[in-house]
Amino acid sequence: MENLEVIPSIIDLIENNRLPKEIKAPDGTILMKPYATWKEQDLVVNRKKWKLFINYTPVESYPEKEIWLAKVNTTGEVIEIHEKEVIHMLNYIKTEHPGATVEEVINNTLSDVVRETGEFKDDNEMASYAFLLYLGLAYAIKYGLLILVKD
Amino acid sequence: MDVYTIINDLLDYAYWGALIFSIAAIFAGILGVALGNQRLRKFLVSGTLAIIIWAAIPTLASNLLKTQAPGSVEFFVIALGAFAFIYGVYNFAAGNYSKAAWLAVAGIIVVGVFSLPFFNTSYNSNTSYQVTASVNPQIGFAPLTTTLTINAPGVNSATYCINWGDGSTSTISGGSSVTASHTYNNAGGYGVIITVKSGNSTGETFVAVNVLSPPNIPWPFNSIVEGIESGLLGIANFLNAPFDFFWTVPQFPTSGQLWNLYEIILSVSFGAFGLFVVLNVFSNAVSDEDVGAALVKGFKEVILVALAMLIVPYLYNIIASFLNQVVVALIPFANPGALLLGAITIIGAGFGAGYFVPELADLGAALSIALLIATALSIIRMIVIYAGILLSPVFLAFSLFPATKGISRVALELTMGFILAGPFSAAIFAVLSIMAGQWGLAGNLGLEVASPFLLQVIPDLLGFGAAKGLMGGFGISAPKVRQNNSQGSSENQENQKVTTVPGSIGRTSSSANTQQNNTQQNQVVTVPVRGHEVKLNQQYGSGPMGIIRRVRNRGTGTVTREDIAGDDLGRKPYVPRGYKITEEKDEVAGLVHRREWQIKETRLHALGSGLKENYKAAAKELGKSLSVRFDALMEKYTGVKPIEAIRREVGDVKLRHNKRSSSKLK
C-alpha cells in the first residue's frame, strides 16, 4: 500500500503553533527555520538562484473541500495537500514556467493574490503573506512534489 | 470682494477641476484597458465613481447632510456606522489594531454626523424642507415661456426665492405648492435655483431649462418648421417620463401579488435550506474531521443565509432608496428626452431621405437597432432586478451547496450589476447634459447618435464591473493565462507559443524548430502523414504592444502540401485556428506537385491575442514591482522574525487567504 503524507493548511499550523523548527529538503538542505529571522531563511536568501521543477502526477482534486492528492513521481508516495497556495504555485511551475526560480514563483503568486484580493494594506501584511507562501513552497519541496535545483 | 465670494469662487474652481480630473481618470482607465496597464486600468472605475460623486455633490450636500433623506436612509447610514464601529471592536479583539482604529473612527464619524440633529437643539431647530420642482416645458425655442411648479410638503406658509439662472429673480409667498412663470429670451442652458424659507427653516432645489436658438428659415417655411419642431419638443418633454426605466432602482413591494409569490418562494427555499442543515449535521457527524470545528464553520454559513433570506427585500429597498437619492440628485441636470428625440429624428430622416442620402439611411438603421437594444436592455434590467429579489431565497439556498454556489454568485452579480447601472446611467446623463449645453448643435448631434449606448449599454457594463468588484476580485483584473505544458529551458519559455492542431484521425502534430529573437519568431508545425507543413511567422514579436499595433501587425504564414500525382492537392488544407487563407499557388517539379497557401491571422484573433498578451504583461509588471518591494523589505527586515509578524497579521492574512479561489491541481 502506498504511503500517504499530508501537507496541512499552513495558516492552521501557524494559528495552532504547530510549525516545526526546521523544514528540510529530502537531500537534507535546510529550507526554512520558521522561528528564526528572515536572514536565516535559506529558501528566501537563495530565492533568486534556486530553481524548481515538478515531480508529481495529479491524482484527485477536491477544490471545494480544499483537498488535493498528488503522487510523487520518484517515490510513488501519495501526498494529500490542504493548502490552496501550494496548488497555485505547483500549477504555475507546471503549466507556465518549469524551472522557475523561487523568487519568480513567489512573485507570481503574490501578484495573483493582489489581483484577486486587492493591494496589501502595508509592508507587514505583504511580508507575512510572502512568508506563508515560502512555507508552502518549503513543504512542497520537503515532500518531494518539487525538485530544488541549486546553481 | 468679500471672503464668502472668494471661498465660493475657490469651491467653483475645485468643483469643475474635479470634473476634469475625473474625466481624465476615465480616459486613463480606457487607455489602461487598451494597453493592458494594470495601474492605469484601475482609473476606469475610480474615475467613474468620482464623476458620480461629483455630479451628486450639490444636491447630496444640501439634502442628505441636512437629514432630509428618508428615514430608512438615515437608519441605513446609522446602521452602517454602528456596524463599522462594532467590526472595529472585533478587529481590536482579534489584534488587528490599525484596521480596528480606522473602522472605529469611521463608525464614530458616520454615527456622530447623522446623530447630530437628535442631540444638538440649535441644529434641530433649523428644520430643512424637502423641496421638489418641475418646469414645463423644459426644452423649447427662444423666446420660451415656462411654468415652474414647486412643492414643499409640510410647509404652511413660506417665501419662495427663485433665481431663474438668466440674472432675474422672483420672490413669491405661498403654501406647500406654488407656481410661477418666466420667459427666457435668449438660447442657452439655465439652472433655476429655488430656495424656500419659513422662519428658521429652509429648503433648496434645482431644475434645468434648455432654451434653443430658433431656426433661421425664411417665411413661410419658418412657421411650418417651427410648428413641427414645437410638436417634437413636446414629445421630448413627454419622453422624459419613461426614462425612469433607465435609472430608477425600483422598490420591491412588501405587499400584493409579487410579495405573495416571494413568500411562497421563501417557504420552498426554507425547505431546501432545512434539508441542507440536516445533511450538514449528518455529514459532519460521520466525517473524520474535527466535528466541533466543522459544525461551527457550517452553522456560520447557515445562520448568515437564514438571516439574509429574511431581510433581502427590506435591505434591498433601503439600498434602492439610497441609490434613488443619488439618482434624483443627478436628474435635474439631465434632459434625456431631448437626446432621445434627436435620435428618433435621425432615424425618421433616414427612413424618409435615405433613398437620396444613403449614409443617412445607414445611420438611421444603425441608430434604430442601437435604440432597440437600449430599450430592450432597460426592460431586461427591470425584469432581472425584480426576478433577482424574488428568487433571492433560492439563490441564497444555492449558495450553501458547492455544486450550485457558482449559479448563486452569477445571479447576485447580475442583479447587483443592473441595480448599480441606474446611478451610472443618471451620472452619464448629468455629465452629457452639461456638455451638450456647452457644445451646441454639433455636440448634441454626436450625443444623439451615441445616446442608446450611453443610456443603457455603458451603464450596464459599468454596473457589472462594479458588482464584480464588490463581490471580490476587481472587475477588470487580468485573467490568468494558461501557457504551454512542456518542460523546457527557462530562458526561452516566456516567448514560446504553442499552435494547437486539431486531433483528427491520421494526423499527429509536433512543435519543432522554434526560432526566436526580439523582433520575430517562427514556428513550424508539421503534419507528417500527408506531408503537410505549416509555418507561422509571428512578426509582431514576443513582447506586449498596443492593441492597434498588434492588429496591424497580424501574423502570417504558409501551409504547403506535396503530392506525387497531385491528386490530393484539392483537399482542403489544414489552417491553424484564427488564420485565414489569403493566396494559393502551385508548383510542379518533375513528378512532385506542390501547393502553397499563404495564410494571415484574422483581426479578431489578433485582437484577442493582443488583449491576452497585454493582460499577461500587466501581471508580469505587477510581479516585478512586488519583487522590488520584497527585496527592499528583506534588506530592512533581516533581523525580524517573520513568525512574529505573521502572528500579528494572522487575521488579515487569513481573510485574504480565504478570499483566494481554489483550482484543480494540474
> Which element (helix H / strand E) includes B35?
helix B3-35
Which numeric CATH code is attached to B132-215? Answer: 2.60.40.10
Among A37, A54, A69, select the one facing B641 at the smallest CB separation: A37
Q: A38, B99: Cβ pair inside 8 Å?
A: no
Percent of chain A with pLDDT strictly greater than 70: 98
DSSP string, A72-132: ETTT--EEEE--HHHHHHHHIIIII-TTEEHHHHHHHHHHHHHHHH---SSHHHHHHHHHH
Whether residues A64 and B402 touch (CB distance < 8 A) is answered with yes
Cell representation of residue B11:
469651491
How is residue B145 written as a grid cell? 415661456
pLDDT below 50 — which residues of chain B? 64-69, 116-126, 288-291, 440-442, 472-529
- Give the residue from B118, B201, B121, B189 showing the smallest Cα distance to B158: B201
Sheet holding A100-101, edge to edge: A100-101, A51-54, A146-149
Contact of B597 with B550, CB cutoff 8 Å = no
Instruction: Dump pLDDT digits (tens) for B86-116.
Output: 777 777 666 666 667 777 766 666 655 555 4
Q: How far does B75 lie from chain A, in Å, by closest CA?
A: 30
Nearest to A67 by CA among B529, B289, B60, B438: B289
Q: Which residues of A touch B483 (CB under 8 A)?
A: 95-97
Q: What SS3 state is found at B95?
A: coil
> Rounded to an integer, what distance in angstroms lies between the CA atom of residue B85 and that of residue B65?
20
B627: closest chain A residue by CA: A107
B139-141 and B201-212 strand pairing: parallel
Q: Minimal CA–CA distance to B435: which of B421, B420, B445?
A: B445
Would the CB atoms of B626 and A111 count as touching at under 8 Å? Answer: yes
Which residues of chain A have a CB within 8 Å of the CB of B617?
Answer: none
Grid cell listed for B520: 520575430
A53: nearest CA partner in chain B: B487
DSSP single-letter state for residue B154: T
Per-residue model confidence as pLDDT tens digits over B556-567 = 888 887 776 666
The pLDDT of residue B528: 45
C-alpha cell at B409: 454568485
**What are the backbone angles phi and psi of residue B167, rounded to the nearest 5°?**
100, -15
Whole-angstrom distance, CA of residue B40 vs CA of residue B28: 6
Which residues does chain A have within 8 Å of residue B622's beta carbon, measured at their own beta carbons?
111, 114-115
Pairwise CB contact (< 8 Å): A107 & B482 = no
> Taking the model in full, what pTM does it have?
0.39
A:129-148 residues touching chain B, CB 8 A cutoff: 129-132
Strand order in the sheet with A67-72: A4-7, A78-81, A67-72, A56-62
pLDDT for A83 equals 92
| Nearest alpha carbon to residue B480 among B574, B612, B588 | B612
In angstroms, rounded to a whole number, what is the distance separating the alpha carbons of residues B59 and B333? Answer: 11
pLDDT at A59: 93
The H or E element containing residue B594 is: strand B592-601
**Which residues 6+ apart lie within 8 Å of B148 measured at CB?**
B133, B134, B135, B162, B179, B180, B181, B182, B192, B194, B207
> Could you write out the DSSP letters of every residue in B283-311?
HHHHSSS-HHHHHHHHHHHHHHHHHHHHH
**What is the C-alpha to C-alpha distance for residues B533 and B561, in angstroms, rounded to an integer?**
7
The phi, psi pair for B386, rounded to 5°, reads -60, -45
pLDDT tens for A83-139 read: 999 999 999 999 888 999 999 999 989 988 888 888 888 888 899 999 999 999 999
Beta bridge partner(s), residue B147:
B136, B181
C-alpha to C-alpha distance for B510 and B530, rounded to whole angstroms: 14
Distance of CA B373 to the CA centre of its chain: 18
CA dist B388 and B319 (Å) reads 14
**Rounded to a whole number, what is the distance in Å from the CA of A145 to chain B's nearest CA?**
12
> Which three cell numbers, joined as nine digits, stand for B625?
514591482
Give how far Cα B203 sits from Cα of A67, B153, B254, Å: 62, 11, 31
| Beta carbons of A108 and B623 less than 8 Å apart | yes
> Is A127 at the interface with chain B, CB within 8 A?
yes
d(CA A141, nearest CA chain B) in Å: 16
pLDDT digits (tens, 9 = 90+) for B651-664: 888 888 888 888 88
What letters, b where the CB count within 10 A reaches 16 and e where it falls short, cover B265-279? Answer: bbeebeeebeebeee
Task: Round to whole Å and give the CA distance between A52 and B4.
Answer: 68
Q: How many CA atoms lie within 13 A of B542 on its CB side?
A: 17
Q: How many residue contacts between A and B have a Cβ separation below 8 Å?
A: 180
8 Å CB contact of A127 and B402: no
Pairing relationship of beta strands B521-527 and B532-538 according to DSSP bridges: antiparallel
In b/e form, how buried is each residue of B446-455, taking b as 16+ CB within 10 angstroms? ebbbbbbbbb
Chain B residue numbers with beta carbons less than 8 Å from the beta carbon of A125 are 649, 652-653, 656
End-to-end Cα spacing for chain B: 72
Set of cell numbers at residue B407? 449559479
Domain, as residue range, for A16 = 4-149
Residues of B in contact with A40 (CB under 8 A): none
Three-class DSSP category at B202: strand
> What are the start-end ranges of the E strands in B227-349?
none
Name the burial class of residue A22, with classes exposed (0-12), middle (13-18) and buried (19+) by CB atoms within 10 angstroms of its CB.
middle
Query: Structurally, how many domains does chain A consist of?
Result: 1
Alpha helices in B354-484 (DSSP H): 358-390, 392-398, 405-452, 458-470
Q: What would the grid cell of residue B172 be?
A: 413669491
Q: List the single residue in A with minimal CA-CA distance to B654.
A: A11
CA distance A27 to chain B (A): 23
**What is the residue type of B310?**
L
Phi, psi torsion values for B564, nearest 5 degrees: -65, -50
Three-state helix/strand/coil letters over B510-549: EEEEEEECCCCEEEEEEEHHHCEEEEEEECCCCCCCCHHH
Instruction: Please state, in angstroms and rounded to a whole number, the distance separating the CA atoms of residues A11 and B67.
Output: 46
Q: Residue B649 and residue A120: Cα distance in Å, rounded?
A: 11
A148 vs A121, more confident: A148
Interchain CB contact of A108 with B (< 8 Å): yes
Using alpha carbons only, give the angle B413, B481, B487 rounded to the nearest 5 degrees: 150
What pLDDT is stored for residue B334 in this prediction? 53
**CB–CB of B230/B323 below 8 Å?**
no
Closest CB to A130: pick one of B630, B650, B654: B630
Helical segments of B36-192, H only: 38-63, 71-94, 97-119, 121-125
Instruction: Using alpha carbons only, give the angle A132, B624, B47 rounded to the nearest 5 degrees.
Output: 100
B620 and A101 Cβ atoms separated by less than 8 Å? no
CA distances from B432 to B19, B138, B426 (A): 12, 16, 10
Residues of A in contact with B474 (CB under 8 A): 115, 118
